[in-house]
Structure 1
Amino acid sequence: MGRRPIITRDAAARAALSIVDESGPATLSLARVAAALDVRAPSLYNHFADKAEILAEVARIVVLDSGRVPDPEPGGWREWLVEESTLFRRSLLRHPRAVPLVVEHLPQPLLVRLYRQYALLLGAHGVPADMHLFLLEGVHRMVLGSAISTATGRSALQELDPEPQPASAEEDERRFVAMVQAFLRGVDLP
């Protein structure tokens, strides 16, 4: 009978995410992850080939922890896409120091799987297939760009305002939602 492993891939990735949340991505090391799990660093190689694979798993966790909005009612795909993108952005902003890691290390197979899933839903709501990638990529870029801007505190408009006032989290999210809604209204679709 085999022994149950002391650590799991998920536990190691969540420990890595905690380190990034607490101290930033520059402080992440296999030794710190191992110490957080109370194991030796070489034991992590039973679960990950290298640090890049841990970072990909951290990105996967942040993305998948965003939750899901129920499938939309007929004609409600725009509102659904706004809500879905808002949940994703919230998940990113729960881990502001991890946002750059998600951008850089998001596993391509996960992104493809999610895009396919969302494209099927858009197709079921009458959105032409040739618009699926345009819509999904456009909203995805808005989510990432907005999250990076908010997480780093580097709004492009700060340079234009001589006395910028930081927006509350609610106001920041309201602006994001308005931006995505404006994008979707500008697309000539059913």
Structure 2
Amino acid sequence: MPRPSKPLISRASAVAASIDIIDTEGLDAFSLPRLAKHLGVRAPSLYHHFEDKSAILSAVARQIAGAGTIPRRKPGPDWPEYFVTLSLNLRRSILRHRNAAPILLQYLPRDLLIGPYEETAHFLEASGVPTRLHVQILDGMERITLGAVLTEAMSKPSTRSSIFPNIDPESQPMLSKAMAANEFTQKQLFEEMIRSFLYGVMRNEN
């Protein structure tokens, strides 16, 4: 069937509909025919905006990751808190769409995780962070944030007591003791992990 001469849908509506299908029905349910039916059009209408299914999934990844709010930043000694807030915003956005986690793992562009590289490097420089540490910080932030958030997204939502599920106090007494002493939620553990990495980079410098 030929492609319609004029687009019947917008790119934004197609991406939003794709996310809705994946959120409610799961990634396995997503297909071009399913998306076209959801939008009330025929599949060829989608090709006005996307070359194929992969192009749609890439746009979905960008939309979800880009939904995280970029915090205002002022260079200074507390610069790590900018990255903590940024990572928490990204985490919140991704966890709203847990079914899309495999898409993000495959299609997420690196430059969406921490903002434009050049601007972020200027921010680090103005905050007094040595240039030789910039790559370590930028690369580490991406790997830690994405790895932690996608692992959490692909697991069942946890509570403080279910971070390590199915612990046997008899065979795992030390882990049981550690869990009993833990005061952090999953979100708080994530936040402290980001801080530990960033402040740790600077401590090693001093």
TM-score, normalised with respect to structure 2: 0.78
Q: How many Å apart are 1:41 and its aligned residue? A: 0.6
Q: Secondary structure at the match of 1:158?
A: coil
Give the one of 132, 135, 138 matched to 1:136: 138
What is the CA deviation profile of residues 100-148 of structure 1, one whole-angstrom value per residue up to 9, with x for unaligned ones? Answer: 2112111356569633332222222222223222112212222222222
The answer to whether 1:127 aligns with 2:129 is yes
Give the one of 41, 44, 56 matched to 1:42: 44
**Residue in structure 2 matched with residue 146 of structure 1 by the alignment:** 148
Q: How does 1:141-180 map to 2 (within 5 A)?
A: 141-153=143-155, 158=164, 161-162=167-168, 171-180=185-194
**Which runs of no fewer than 5 residues in structure 2 stay unpaired?**
170-175
Q: How many pairs were matched up? A: 183
Q: How many Å apart are 1:33 and its aligned residue? A: 1.2
Give the one of 10, 13, 22 matched to 1:11: 13
**Residue in structure 2 matched with residue 22 of structure 1 by the alignment:** 24
Q: Indicate the percent of aligned positions where both proteins have the same amino acid.
A: 36
Q: How many Å apart are 1:57 and its aligned residue? A: 0.2
Give the one of 196, 202, 205 matched to 1:182: 196
Q: Secondary structure at the match of 1:187?
A: helix
Cα 1:111–1:127 change in 2 (3 A) is same
**Residue in structure 1 matched with residue 103 of structure 2 by the alignment:** 101
Kept after mapping to 1: 8 A contact 2:76/2:126:
no
Partner Cα distance (1:152, 1:127) in 2: 34
**Residue in structure 2 matched with residue 58 of structure 1 by the alignment:** 60
The one-letter amino acid of 2:200's match is G
Q: How many Å apart are 1:86 and its aligned residue? A: 0.9
Q: Secondary structure at the match of 1:49?
A: coil
**Residue in structure 2 matched with residue 82 of structure 1 by the alignment:** 84
Partner Cα distance (2:97, 2:73) in 1: 26
The one-letter amino acid of 1:177's match is E
Q: How many Å apart are 1:159 and its aligned residue? A: 7.2
TM-score, normalised with respect to structure 1: 0.84
Worse-matched range after superposition: 134-143 or 34-43:
134-143
The answer to whether 1:116 aligns with 2:118 is yes
What is the CA deviation profile of residues 34-80 of structure 1, one whole-angstrom value per residue up to 9, with x for unaligned ones? Answer: 11111111110110001110011000001111111111352221111
Larger radius of gyration: 2
Kept after mapping to 1: 8 A contact 2:124/2:134:
yes
**Which runs of no fewer than 5 residues in structure 1 stay unpaired?**
none
User: What root-mean-square deviation, in Å, do the aligned CA atoms of Structure 1 and Structure 2 show?
Assistant: 2.8
Q: Secondary structure at the match of 2:164?
A: helix
